[in-house]
Every structure is written in C-alpha cells, then in structure tokens.
C-alpha cells in the first residue's frame, strides 16, 4: 500500500456514502472530514451528506474538483462500474475498497490505468494507524 498517497491526499470521493449516522460509510466520512480531508459523497439517492453536495456518480463531479482517492462502500460485485468511471475521469490516484469489498477485475483495471489499489481494508483504521 502506498501510504504516501494517503498522506498527500486532500479529496476523497466516497462511493456509497450513506446519510445515516449508524452506517460505517458515514462514520468513516465523518472521521475523514475531522482530519481535514474534503469528502465528495457519491450516492444517486442523496443531495447532501455531512454538509457536502452529493453526486449520483463520479462522472457528475465537476472536473475542477480533483479526486485523489475513490473510497468504495459497495458490494464487491458492484465495484467495477465505479472503477471504470474513475478511469474515465482520469484524476484519481487510488482506488480504496473498504473492508469486505474485493473485486480483482476492478483492481486490475485500476492498476492498468496507473492507480494504486487497496482492497478489504478500512481507510479510517489505516489512517488512524499512520497518525499515531
């Protein structure tokens, strides 16, 4: 895992971010915000989460917002289309699949397009370990 990418990242798009405080995605996003990251919620059912405008997909995020990391909270079999969108955007440096999310085809596509990939790890837990 490239920990330098995590240290340099400023903007994290969170695919599948929920507006429900009891959901892991909300907990992680709230933590990341508290650590100074800008979060970009990606959820077609929401208009705003944690004070940030939500977008239906990665391609709807304005190009002037440079996404450093795409953090994915979706079922493993639903990950590939989001990685395809990240490839089309061309700005993300890392695809991060949360705990329990594993998709080797998506990982291979991301890596072929120059992105680092983390699978089956919690970004919040990883960040906390790095900042201790």
What CATH homologous superfamily does 3-130 map to? NAD(P)-binding Rossmann-like Domain (3.40.50.720)
pLDDT of residue 3: 65
pLDDT reported for residue 2: 59
Per-residue model confidence (pLDDT) at position 37:
97
- What is the pTM assigned to this prediction? 0.96
- The strand pairing partners of 70, in sequence order, are 13, 95
- For residue 54 the two structure tokens come to 């939500």
Output phi, psi for 96, to 5 deg: -120, 115
Whole-number Å distance between alpha carbons of 99 and 63: 29
Output the pLDDT for position 131.
Answer: 79
Instruction: Identify which of 119, 56, 112 has the alpha carbon closest to the alpha carbon of residue 87.
Output: 112
pLDDT at res. 132: 73
**pLDDT tens digits in sequence order for the chain, 132 residues long:** 556 877 889 999 999 999 999 999 999 999 999 999 999 999 999 999 999 999 999 999 999 999 999 999 999 999 999 999 999 999 999 999 999 999 999 999 999 999 999 999 999 999 998 877
The partner residues of 49 in beta bridges, in order of sequence, read: 52
Of the CA atoms within 13 Å of residue 124, those in its CB half-sphere come to 17
Q: State the DSSP code for 74.
A: S
The pLDDT value recorded for residue 24 is 96
C-alpha span between 94 and 92 (Å, rounded): 6
Residue 126's Cβ-count burial label (10 Å; 0-12, 13-18, 19+) is middle
CA–CA separation, 55 vs 13, rounded Å? 10
pLDDT tens per residue, range 38-63: 999 999 999 999 999 999 999 999 99
Largest CA distance in the chain: 36
Domain spans, the chain: 3-130
């Amino acid at each position: 895992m490239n920990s330098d990418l995590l240290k340099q990242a400023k903007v994290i798009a969170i695919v599948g971010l929920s507006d429900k405080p009891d959901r892991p995605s909300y907990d992680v996003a709230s933590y990341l915000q508290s650590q100074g990251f800008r979060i970009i919620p990606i959820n077609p059912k929401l208009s705003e989460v944690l004070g940030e405008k939500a977008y239906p997909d990665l391609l709807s995020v304005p190009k002037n917002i440079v996404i450093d990391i795409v953090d994915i909270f979706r079922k493993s079999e639903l990950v590939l289309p989001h990685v395809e969108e990240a490839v089309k955007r061309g700005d993300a440096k890392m695809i991060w699949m949360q705990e329990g999310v594993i998709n080797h085809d998506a990982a291979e596509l991301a890596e072929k397009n120059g992105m680092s990939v983390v699978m089956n790890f919690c970004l919040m837990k990883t960040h906390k370990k790095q900042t201790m």
